[in-house]
Amino acid sequence: MNQDRWDPEMRAFAAMMEQRGRAFPPVVLGMPMDAARVSNDGPGLTLAAGGPRLAESRTDWLSIRGRRLACRVHRPTTDKPLPVLVYVHGGGWVWGSIDTHDHIMRAYAQAAGCAVVGPDYALSPEAVFPQALEECAAVVRWVAQHGADWGLDPTRIVVGGDSAGGNLAMATALLLRETDPDLALRGLLLNYGVFDSRTDTPSYLEFATGHTLTQEKMDFYWRCYAPREADRLHPLAAPLRADLRGLPPCLLHVAELDVLSGENHAMEARLRDAGVSVEATTFPGVLHGFLRAIGHVKASDRAVAEAGAWLRRRLA
């Protein structure tokens, strides 16, 4: 990828993360997953400890679909029930955790004055479509039914996520629309999401061998998450193929220099055509995953501030 288009702060951040990554063995697609996750997530964990300190940050456990599922719960204040953002971490359905995205979740909690709940859903290829989706939907149902037990206002819920987490957030809303029609979400916060299983769009061709996320990696992630090719066409796996009518208002944040930028712009258009209220911002010069750079790249800080203001309006 031609770095002339990069935001200078993005370029410096990428160089810093490359340096940190040298402390870990290189990730080779197809290597044992436990070792690969240590190498992939390790550099990002060095970023996760920064950011705001909140009144309460803890890990709780839910019994979801036959297993104990950890949820990270952040609350900026403990003196009243708070509206909640259920935030689904990214990582190609293969990497990432509530630890790698802890800083991002706390940043949203502070910016929006809301609670943030992050589900540590089952990863692929050990768990394949639709397990992660069903777990995320079950967490949202639990918050809607029992959120008061955690100091949450179960009547005011937004679902959000980044990358594969954006995919799961959108799919969760689509699934709940059918299974729980009385569960009214206040909105969807969608950060550079995976919305289709095609990997031949113009942005894929332009950034195929780019930095952070490549066409080769996305092909690998899809094979892990949906090993059956037919599942990759399912509208709950590839939400760009879904009927989007009736979804709550959406905020889309798009990274300009990203293989996924094309399907994010297509999702914006599809949502508008379906009569869904949409606000969308494309951040120039930044790469996929740029929210990891909070505190290092001003565009990342602007994205959090914009999302915080939007969340306040949606959760008012």
Cite the active site residues. Answer: 163, 258, 288
**Structural Rg of the chain based on CA atoms:** 18
Residue 281 backbone phi and psi in degrees, to 5 = -130, 130
Q: How far is it, in rounded angstroms, from Cα 239 to Cα 242?
A: 5
Residue for token pair 């602007």: 302
> What are 304's two structure tokens?
């959090």
Q: Quick one: angle between helices 33-48 and 8-21, nearest 10?
A: 130
